[in-house]
Amino acid sequence: MNINARPFAYHFELAHTALVIIDMQRDFIEPGGFGETLGNNVGLLSAIVPACQAVLQAWRQAGGVVVHTRESHQPDLSDCPPAKRNRGQPLLRIGDHGPMGRILVAGEPGNQIIEALAPQPGEIVIDKPGKGAFYATGLQETLQQAGISHLIFMGVTTEVCVQTSMREANDRGFECLLLEDCTESYFAHFKAATLEMLCAQGGIVGWTGQSTALLDALQTQPPSDPVKP
Ligand code: TIU
């Protein structure tokens, strides 16, 4: 399939492409979680949920591989370096008790992916202690075993976990597309700058494009059996 994108058309084959949804968790999108403790207006991020839902539904219908990530730490915080926990002056630190449970800790209510984008059985779920989806996870091996060479990204936040993950993926040889209307930041100018820099210099990190272009391409694709991860 070919879809319109920046800096030029993005080509992918469904059987070798995964939809990667970065950190669409209550901790970043709802009040009382990690994003808000850092001083951010978390209300800004929910605007992308309908577009993400439309892509996820179409991708599932087409039978494509889906990867969900969660930024999360073990309850004993053994995977949270002090440099991360002690940074800045948040209202609550990672591991502290908040209104949605312990901040950014695996298994807590706030650490779950929002209901609208909840993983389905058979989809890959990656708990990651860093901002990038490849650091200290088995994601690279999982994708290689599934024959995946292309990644289509959605999620939050554009300039932190999404950009870090896309850069890690690009360095590992994956061909990456970021859906512009399916990613969001707490800072509009950071989102705009990130989109611009990722696809500059002939696609130095990868491609960016609109979800409608992907949806149109998927509609012309005959339904297939789900691709097994
Ligand atoms: N603070 C911020 O913008 N983002 C994060 O801490 N994590 C993610 O982007 N997921």
- The minimum-distance atom of ligand 1 relative to the CA of 160 is 9
Average pLDDT over residues 150-176: 99
Confidence of residue 220 (pLDDT cuts 50, 70, 90): confident
pLDDT at residue 77 tops 80: yes
Give the distance (Å) from ligand 1 centre to CA of residue 120: 24
Locus of tokens 């309908």: 50
**Mutation test of ligand 1: which of 23, 126, 163 has the most ligand atoms closer than 8 Å to its C-beta?**
23
- The enclosing H or E element of 6 equals none
Percent of the chain with pLDDT over 70: 96
Is pTM beyond 0.85 here?
A: yes
- Strands 10-11 and 2-3, sheet pairing: antiparallel
Could you tell me the two tokens for 103? 């901040």
Q: Give 102's Cβ-side CA count (13 Å radius).
A: 14
Cα(15)–Cα(28) distance, integer angstroms: 31
Closest CA to 56 of 180, 155, 141: 155
